[in-house]
Amino acid sequence: MAHTKAAAEAHGHGEHGGHIIVPMSSYVKVLIALLILTALTVAVARPVSGFDAGIFNTLIAFLIATVKASLVLAIFMGLKYDKKLNLAIFLTGVFFLLVLLLFCVLDIYTRVHVQSTL
Amino acid sequence: MSATATAPSGDNYLNHEKGLWSWLTTLDHKRIGILYMISVMVFFLLGGIFAMLMRTELIAPGRTIMGPETYNRVMTYHGTIMVFMVIIPGIPAFLGNFIMPLQIGAKDVAFPKLNLISWYCLMVGALVAFTSLFYNGVDTGWTFYTPYSIRTHTGVTFMVLGAFIMGFSSILTGLNFIVTIHKLRAPGMTFWRMPLFCWGLYSTAIIQVLATPVLAITLLLIACERILGVGIFDPTLGGDPVLFEHFFWFYSHPAVYIMILPAMGVISEVITAFSHKTIFGYKAIAFSSIGIAAVSFFVWGHHLFVAGQSEVAGIIFSFITMLVGVPTAIKVFNWTATLYKGSIEFKPPMLFALGFLFLFTIGGVTGIMLATIALDVHLHDTYFVVAHFHYVMVGGTLMAIMAGFYYWFPKIFGRMYNIFWARITFVLIFVGFNVTFFPQFILGAMGMPRRYYDYLPAFTSLNRISSIGAYTIGLGFLIALIVILQGIFGGEKASANPWGAKTLEWSTVSPPPHDNFVTEPIVTAGPYEYR
């Protein structure tokens, strides 16, 4: 039956050979890492610590957030153990988010520097 | 395509369970499709009434039946209902839900509970959106442009929250369809044996999943701005109203393709079935669906040519927008080539499909005109744009919904409607549509702005013709409703495959049994093996 096979695949028993059970220790390690990174985010925030990296403030905050999100995606959501197709689908979403940001930034910066005749 | 034959057993999805509760809690994709059908028809009736009110007001200059404030509200509800509650869920959620699993030989969609939840999301979202009626209505138009939508003392918050919730319906349906198409195809149903309607739904689902969250967040930001005073789009708080337009159209332009891609899928099915001929350029049509979906994410800026967007961005968006014409034209040429030397039957679904070809082409070509910055500067926010998108949305999507409904009606209900009166509905809708919207191209070119309550006396004749056309469309749809109801409750019993079509859904009995097929179908050939 096609449905039986499909259901099995949907539950991770399909082509990539079985469902991976992530050890509890990995979850705990990721949790600790997330807590440390959250503390780091607070620590590098200027109003709290007085730390000021100038134009890099936002970049640093984004980098920390990206690392945290990657940990959640890879371990908690199991992307690391899934088929590569799932990673590709996720990266497609990231790509289109970048498209949105890229064109908005392009408009905003060229709007400032170019005198419009419209 | 060959599939295992099915034997009628008397059991079908309509009589498998009985009672209202069984419908409200059903997990059967066919019943959920019917729930969507009823909801969409009710919303269409409401949106249609608002359209008639608008055209009646515009039948003469000055006040006719309502004041300007009421007109703004009527216009807004017409747009929001038709876009979010009718055209977006119309084909994917109604016809897609019912037909797609049958076409790929599946018992159901991959996540039946999620499927039911998505219908409830549409219902709850619509309810929240209509709550705005008790808070002074909404007068922003369906685009909710800032900063007006932040400042107006109307029920915008309820409307945007409603649209936010309805967005989840779209996302969940898209997700469900992607997984279903990947995982639940019958043995032998390879991607290249899938009917083109499924390809259309698959491309649509990709857009639904990727773009709808952006709209959801944008609408939520409006609500935050109205409730909490956060300055994201309001220039007095340091926000950027053009940024709202970027975010809004990042979703809403691909949303045009959410509306039209499944419509194109329907047209592929109908044209091949009623030409009794293998479709010309199957792979080209399938790939062009994916191509349109991909390009649709790069063109939103053509809505912002005169909104304050930079010239550099405008030129880039203008160029990319032209590219959409390529995959779209591939489809139109292939459909035309399919008709060539076919044994064409002018049954009601085919009439609507041919109407689609004619009207959608006009809508598409005028879209390319509007993508040209130099021309758009003059035509932007005029009735030319109104005519253009109605040629795409009504001339395209709505004609396809009618084509699809009349095509799959005998499969869905196991009965046949009155062919003569169905043809009459086509004539009324097609003629009425052109009488309504072609004059609007001329009005726009003459400089009549859209969304205005009043106009100069010079525009009176064309507006009057347009209103008469609108009443003709209204009459056409009213007769269509009677034809449909008469068919459901009193139509002659239909055979399993009254049109002689080749796709898998026609190999099961009409109406289909609860599990779709008595024995699992095995697919051994392509979907359109006519000769």
Residue B503 CB partners (closer than 8 Å, separation 6+): B1, B103, B195, B197, B269, B527, B528
Residue B144 lies in a domain: yes
SS (H, E, C) B392-453: HHHHHHHHHHHHHHHHHHHHHHCEECCHHHHHHHHHHHHHHHHHHHHHHHHHHHHCCECCCC
Residue A69 CB partners (closer than 8 Å, separation 6+): none
Q: Does A2 touch chain B (CB under 8 A)?
A: yes
**Distance between B313 CA and the closest CA of chain A, angstroms:** 5
Question: From residue B286, how far is each of A77, B111, B262, B405, B439 by CA, in Å?
Answer: 32, 25, 12, 22, 35
At B4, the pLDDT band (50, 70, 90 cuts) reads: very low
| Contact criterion met (CB below 8 Å) for B352 and B433 | no
Q: Quick one: CA dihedral B307, B309, B312, B313, positive or negative?
A: negative
For B336, the token pair is 């035309």
CA B182 to chain centre: 24
Split into its structural domains, chain B has a count of 1
Q: Tell me, what CATH number does B371's domain have?
A: 1.20.210.10
DSSP-based three-state secondary structure for B465: helix
pLDDT score recorded for residue B98: 96
| Contact criterion met (CB below 8 Å) for B150 and B226 | yes
Q: State the Cα–Cα distance between residues B158 and B370, nearest whole angstrom.
A: 33
| Contact criterion met (CB below 8 Å) for B469 and B486 | no
Planar angle of CA B333, B336, B337, nearest 5 degrees = 85
CB count within 10 Å of CB B38 equals 11
Residue A8 has pLDDT above 60, yes or no: no
pLDDT in tens, B170-199: 999 999 999 999 999 999 999 999 999 999
| Contact criterion met (CB below 8 Å) for B396 and B359 | yes
Please list every residue in chain A whose beta carbon sits closer than 8 Å to the beta carbon of residue B316.
Answer: 103, 106
pLDDT in tens, B376-434: 999 999 999 999 999 999 999 999 999 999 999 999 999 999 999 999 999 999 999 99
pLDDT in tens, B266-285: 999 999 999 999 999 999 99
Comparison of pLDDT for A5 and B181, the residue scoring more = B181
Q: State the Cα–Cα distance between residues B396 and B433, nearest whole angstrom.
A: 11
Residue B528 lies in a domain: no
Q: Which of B190, B312, B319 has the most A C-beta neighbours within 10 Å, making it the best mutation to test the interface with A?
A: B312
| Contact criterion met (CB below 8 Å) for B81 and B51 | no
**Distance between B151 CA and the closest CA of chain A, angstroms:** 24
Q: Quick one: CA dihedral B281, B285, B286, B291, positive or negative?
A: positive
Chain B: residue whose CA lies nearest to A112:
B310
For B379, the token pair is 């035509």
Q: State the Cα–Cα distance between residues B408 and B294, nearest whole angstrom.
A: 29
Q: Which of A103, A106, A115 has the most B C-beta neighbours within 10 Å, making it the best mutation to test the interface with B?
A: A103
H/E run at residue B171? helix B156-183
CB count within 10 Å of CB B277 equals 20
Residue A69 has pLDDT above 90, yes or no: yes
pLDDT in tens, B53-64: 999 999 999 999
Comparison of pLDDT for B248 and A5, the residue scoring more = B248
pLDDT score recorded for residue A5: 40
Task: List the single residue in A6, A110, A118 with the smallest CB-CB distance to B183.
Answer: A6
Q: State the Cα–Cα distance between residues B34 and B94, nearest whole angstrom.
A: 7
Q: Does A114 touch chain B (CB under 8 A)?
A: yes
The angle that helices B460-490 and B29-57 make with each other, rounded to 10 degrees, is 150
Question: From residue A26, how far is each of A81, B44, B46, B454, B464 by CA, in Å?
Answer: 13, 53, 55, 67, 72
DSSP-based three-state secondary structure for B382: strand
Residue B525 lies in a domain: no
Chain A: residue whose CA lies nearest to B296:
A96
DSSP-based three-state secondary structure for B500: coil
In one-letter notation, the amino acid at residue B39 is: S
Residue B51 has pLDDT above 80, yes or no: yes
**Distance between A90 CA and the closest CA of chain B, angstroms:** 10
Residue B24 lies in a domain: yes
B302-335: buried (b, 16+ CB within 10 Å) or exposed (e) per residue?
bbbbebebbbebbebbbebbeebbebbebbbebb
| Contact criterion met (CB below 8 Å) for A16 and A85 | no
C-alpha closest to that of B451 among B123, B39, B142, B111 = B142
| Contact criterion met (CB below 8 Å) for B296 and B257 | yes
Mean pLDDT of all residues in B43-67:
95
CB contact under 8 A, B242 and A107: yes
Q: Does A98 touch chain B (CB under 8 A)?
A: no
CB contact under 8 A, A99 and B298: yes
Residue B443 lies in a domain: yes
| Contact criterion met (CB below 8 Å) for B225 and B312 | no
Residue B7 has pLDDT above 80, yes or no: no
Please list every residue in chain B whose beta carbon sits closer than 8 Å to the beta carbon of residue A1.
Answer: 520
pLDDT in tens, B71-107: 999 999 999 999 999 999 999 999 999 999 999 999 9
CB contact under 8 A, B242 and A92: no
pLDDT in tens, B447-504: 999 999 999 999 999 999 999 999 999 999 999 999 999 999 999 999 999 999 999 9
pLDDT score recorded for residue B68: 94
Residue B158 has pLDDT above 50, yes or no: yes
Q: State the Cα–Cα distance between residues B357 and B329, nearest whole angstrom.
A: 11
pLDDT score recorded for residue B317: 93
pLDDT in tens, B290-319: 899 888 889 999 999 998 888 889 999 999
CB count within 10 Å of CB A107 equals 27
pLDDT score recorded for residue B419: 96
Task: List the single residue in A100, A103, A117 with the smallest CB-CB distance to B313.
Answer: A103
In one-letter notation, the amino acid at residue B433 is: F
Residue with tokens 């709202």: B244
Q: Quick one: CA dihedral B42, B46, B47, B48, positive or negative?
A: positive
Chain B: residue whose CA lies nearest to A94:
B210
Please list every residue in chain B whose beta carbon sits closer than 8 Å to the beta carbon of residue A6.
Answer: 110, 183-184
Q: State the Cα–Cα distance between residues A1 and A23, nearest whole angstrom.
A: 33
Q: Which of B310, B376, B378, B518 has the most A C-beta neighbours within 10 Å, making it the best mutation to test the interface with A?
A: B310
pLDDT score recorded for residue A113: 53
Q: Does A110 touch chain B (CB under 8 A)?
A: yes
**Cis before B147 (ω within 30):** yes
At A18, the pLDDT band (50, 70, 90 cuts) reads: low
Domain holding B325, by residue range, is: 20-507
Beta bridge partners of B344: none
pLDDT in tens, B228-267: 888 889 888 888 899 999 999 998 898 888 899 999 999 9
Residue B263 lies in a domain: yes
Q: State the Cα–Cα distance between residues B297 and B250, nearest whole angstrom.
A: 7
CB count within 10 Å of CB B107 equals 20
pLDDT in tens, B521-531: 999 888 888 76
pLDDT in tens, B321-367: 999 999 999 999 999 999 999 999 999 999 999 999 999 999 999 99
pLDDT score recorded for residue B194: 95
Q: ipTM above 0.85? A: no
Please list every residue in chain B whose beta carbon sits closer than 8 Å to the beta carbon of residue A106.
Answer: 310, 312-313, 316
Q: Does A111 touch chain B (CB under 8 A)?
A: yes
Residue B13 lies in a domain: no
Chain B: residue whose CA lies nearest to A117:
B311
CB contact under 8 A, A110 and B313: yes
**Distance between B377 CA and the closest CA of chain A, angstroms:** 8
pLDDT in tens, B112-130: 999 999 999 999 999 999 9
**Extents of the domains making up chain A:** 20-82, 83-118
Q: State the Cα–Cα distance between residues B482 and B487, nearest whole angstrom.
A: 8
Mean pLDDT of all residues in A9-25:
60
Residue B514 lies in a domain: no
Q: Does A103 touch chain B (CB under 8 A)?
A: yes
Interface of chain B against chain A, CB under 8 Å? 105-107, 110, 179, 183-187, 210-211, 214, 240, 242-243, 246-247, 250, 297-298, 300-301, 304-306, 308-314, 316-317, 377, 520
